[in-house]
Chain A
Amino acid sequence: MQDKELWSWYKSGEISGLEGLYNSYYMPLTNYGFKFTADKSFIEESIQDLFLKLWRNRDSIVTPQVVKQYLLLSFRRILLRKLEYSPSRLEEAFSGEHIPFYLELSYEHPMIRAERATELKRKVDALMDTLTHRQREAIFLKFYEDLSYEEIAEILQINTGGTYKLVYRALERLREQFGDFSLLVLLYLLQRR
Chain B
Amino acid sequence: MMNKNYQDYLMEDFLADEYFIRWVKSPDASANAFWKQLSADMPEKAALMREAKEIVYALSTPVVDKNDEGKTKVWQAVLENIAQQPVQRIPRYRRPLLAAASVLLLLALGATWYFTSTVTIRTGYGETRQIRLPDNSSLVLNARSEASYARSWSVTGKRVVTVEGEAFFDVKHTGDTFRVQAGDARITVLGTAFNVRQRSGITAVVLQRGRVRVDVINGRELPAFLLPGDGWSLARQHPPVVMHAVDTLAATAWTRHELLLNATKVKDIIQLLKENYGYTVILQDTTLGEREIKGRIPMQQEKDLLFVLSRILDIDIQQKKDTLLFTAK
Interface, chain A (partner B; CB < 8 A): 1, 13-16, 19-20, 22-23, 26-27, 30-31, 34, 40, 44, 47-48, 51-52, 55-56, 104-106, 139, 142-144, 146, 148-149, 164, 167-168, 171-172, 174-175, 180-181, 184-185, 187-189, 191
Which of A26, A106, A171, A174 interacts with B63 by CB under 8 Å?
Answer: A106
Residue numbers in B under 8 Å from A105 (CB-CB): 58-59, 61
Which of A52, A143, A175, A189 interacts with B59 by CB under 8 Å?
Answer: A143
Residue numbers in A under 8 Å from B82 (CB-CB): 15, 52, 55-56
Q: Is the interface of A mostly helix, strand, loop or mixed?
A: helix
Q: Is the CB of A20 within 8 A of B81?
A: no
Q: Is the CB of A180 within 8 A of B11?
A: yes
Q: Is the CB of A26 within 8 A of B71?
A: yes
Residue numbers in B under 8 Å from A191 (CB-CB): 58, 61
Can you list 16 residue pairs at the A/B interface with Cβ under 8 Å? Answer: A13-B175, A22-B75, A23-B215, A30-B70, A31-B63, A40-B70, A48-B78, A105-B58, A105-B59, A106-B61, A106-B63, A143-B60, A175-B11, A181-B11, A184-B55, A188-B55
The answer for the CA separation of A164 and B10 in the assembled complex, in Å, is 15
Cβ of B8 within 8 Å of any chain A Cβ, yes or no, is no
A20 closest partner in B (C-beta):
B223
Q: Is the CB of B70 within 8 A of A19?
A: no
Q: Is the CB of A184 within 8 A of B58?
A: yes
Which of A27, A44, A139 interacts with B62 by CB under 8 Å?
Answer: A27
Residue numbers in B under 8 Å from A181 (CB-CB): 11, 51, 55
The answer for the CA separation of A31 and B12 in the assembled complex, in Å, is 25
The answer for the CA separation of A31 and B60 in the assembled complex, in Å, is 12
Interface, chain B (partner A; CB < 8 A): 10-13, 15-16, 18, 21-22, 25, 51, 54-64, 66, 68, 70-71, 73-75, 77-79, 81-82, 86, 175, 177, 188, 213, 215, 222-223
The answer for the CA separation of A142 and B61 in the assembled complex, in Å, is 12
Residue numbers in B under 8 Å from A26 (CB-CB): 68, 71, 74-75
Residue numbers in B under 8 Å from A143 (CB-CB): 21, 56, 59-60
A16 closest partner in B (C-beta):
B188
Residue numbers in B under 8 Å from A187 (CB-CB): 58
Residue numbers in A under 8 Å from B54 (CB-CB): 184-185, 188-189
Task: Give min CB distance, A96 to chain B, whole Å.
Answer: 20
Task: Give min CB distance, A153 to chain B, whole Å.
Answer: 13
The answer for the CA separation of A148 and B177 in the assembled complex, in Å, is 36
The answer for the CA separation of A23 and B72 in the assembled complex, in Å, is 9
Q: Is the CB of A27 within 8 A of B66?
A: yes
Given A30-B70, A48-B81, A175-B11, the answer on whether A144 and B188 have CB atoms closer than 8 Å is no
The answer for the CA separation of A30 and B215 in the assembled complex, in Å, is 21
The answer for the CA separation of A105 and B61 in the assembled complex, in Å, is 8
The answer for the CA separation of A150 and B108 in the assembled complex, in Å, is 51
Q: Is the CB of A185 within 8 A of B51?
A: yes
Which of A16, A34, A188 interacts with B57 by CB under 8 Å?
Answer: A188
Residue numbers in A under 8 Å from B79 (CB-CB): 15
The answer for the CA separation of A15 and B10 in the assembled complex, in Å, is 48
Q: Is the CB of B18 within 8 A of A149?
A: yes
The answer for the CA separation of A164 and B124 in the assembled complex, in Å, is 68
Residue numbers in A under 8 Å from B64 (CB-CB): 27, 30-31, 34
B73 closest partner in A (C-beta):
A44
The answer for the CA separation of A147 and B12 in the assembled complex, in Å, is 18
A54 closest partner in B (C-beta):
B78
Residue numbers in A under 8 Å from B57 (CB-CB): 188
The answer for the CA separation of A1 and B224 in the assembled complex, in Å, is 9
Given A142-B21, A185-B55, A188-B58, the answer on whether A52 and B222 have CB atoms closer than 8 Å is no
A33 closest partner in B (C-beta):
B64
Task: Give min CB distance, B285 to chain A, whole Å.
Answer: 50
Of B61, B177, B215, the most chain A CB neighbours within 10 A belong to B61
